[in-house]
Chain A
Amino acid sequence: MAAAPDSVLEAFERSIIPLLDDAYTLARHLLRDEHDAQDVVQEAYLRAWRHYGGFRGGDARAWLLTIVRNCCYTWRRSARPEQVAVAYDDEAHGADEDEQLAADARVLAESDRAELELALAQLPREFREVIVLREIERLSYQEIGRVMGTPIGTVMSRLARARKRLQQALGIGAREAS
């Protein structure tokens, strides 16, 4: 591959790099691990960069999130060699991590977020995915269908079921027990 001209790099920097939080958020929820999410997002961005020439406008976020999602799925299949993960996680940042988690927990406890994230984390992945794409990323059904590679009807029913599960987990509208 020939080096892309600077104008392409600038366009990528302007349109795709600012979507990093969105990409990271999807990966965090799909993989439920901070470090895996970082690795996968980096890989997804490199892939996005390589295919950026083929991206002809349209919604950049849906396009990027499709790549992130696919990387998350391949990542799960291949996974990181266990030895590296163990050595890295245990040795590199054991103590700092606990500190960080404690700090995060304090912040989370003040809000509704902890409860919501816990409920979300317990859903199967295809439900988590559709919830993140809709409630956080705020994509349209059509865009969600494109990202997940499913018809809109599937988006609709999956989202409805995922919401129902969360509604029950959060104890909303308990009178609707039937």
Chain B
Amino acid sequence: MSCAVTRDHLSAYVDSELPPEQASEVARHLVSCAECASEYEGILETVSRLQEGLVPYRAPDVLRARIRAAIREEQAGSEPVARRSRYVPWRAIAAAVVIAVVSSGVTFVATGRRAAEPAVAEEVLASHIRSLMPAHLTDVSSNNQHNVKPWFNGRLDFSPSVPRLDDAGFPLLGGRVDYVHGRPVAVVVYGRRQHVINVFSWPAPGRDVGLSQESRNGYTLMHWRRDGVEHWVVSDVAVPDLRQFVALLEQGDAASGRTTPETAR
């Protein structure tokens, strides 16, 4: 075997990927040729440095959670429609109203069960997970509430509140219109480090409903209704952070003018 041919085969020889005949030819050549042997040493050293030094990355836990949730979501979405549409919201809505604790400020209903309407919670969660897919997060992308808020005009029959919460570590990312519970709804999107917080709102008649919280598939959902507007907040940020966020949202809401249904339309 010539030097040129040998050199072409050295890399595969290192990996024991040559057919036995070629491998023994290379081995014979290396014994008799100092230059090729030195070339071989160089490749061997390179490979061992690469294999020792290049280690796998560890995937972030949040990615693992996102994937599991997306798969479960797909599982749920592919169930026969009849089975899912059996849920009648009214009973659950009534239950939620009964459970609701109306008071000033934010009241938590401690709950391991679903305090609010289950089908809506599912739809809101589905929308949240969908929004995490590439290019699904926002229709209007801006960190300026004066861009985001007007964007909803003409797209919806009400105007969501878009308080600025950057200083508290919740930058505004943008907004989108989504379809939940049989109607278009406003979604205002905030960030928290690498996490996304989706804030859903739409007008809903009925009495105020206090804040309730539940977790599904590793996500936290918070729900309340105030002054005729339904609010859902979904995220995988830590629960204390999300509570702080909701409290700020309510304050900002009160300060910057309430979410009001536009009766003129």
Contact = CB atoms under 8 A, between A and B. Distances in A.
B58 to A, nearest CB: 6
B68 interface: yes
A163 interface: yes
B17 A163 contact: no
Contact of B67 (A45, A86, A88, A115): A45
A125 to B, nearest CB: 16
A172 to B, nearest CB: 5
B251 interface: no
Q: How large is the interface on A (under 10, 10 to 19, 20 to 34, 35 or more residues)?
A: 35 or more
Q: How large is the interface on B (under 10, 10 to 19, 20 to 34, 35 or more residues)?
A: 35 or more
A173 B55 contact: no
Interface string A121-158: 00000000001101111101100000000000000110
Interface string B164-190: 001000011110000000000000000
29 contacts: A2-B78, A12-B71, A17-B64, A17-B68, A20-B59, A24-B59, A25-B56, A38-B59, A46-B70, A75-B134, A83-B141, A87-B141, A88-B137, A111-B53, A113-B53, A113-B54, A116-B49, A116-B54, A131-B50, A131-B54, A134-B15, A138-B51, A141-B17, A156-B11, A163-B46, A163-B50, A170-B49, A173-B42, A176-B39
Q: Which 3 A-B pairs have the closest CB atoms?
A: A173-B42, A92-B191, A160-B11
Interface of B: 8, 10-12, 15, 17, 38-39, 41-43, 45-47, 49-60, 63-64, 66-68, 70-71, 74-76, 78-79, 132-135, 137-138, 141-143, 166, 171-174, 191-194, 196
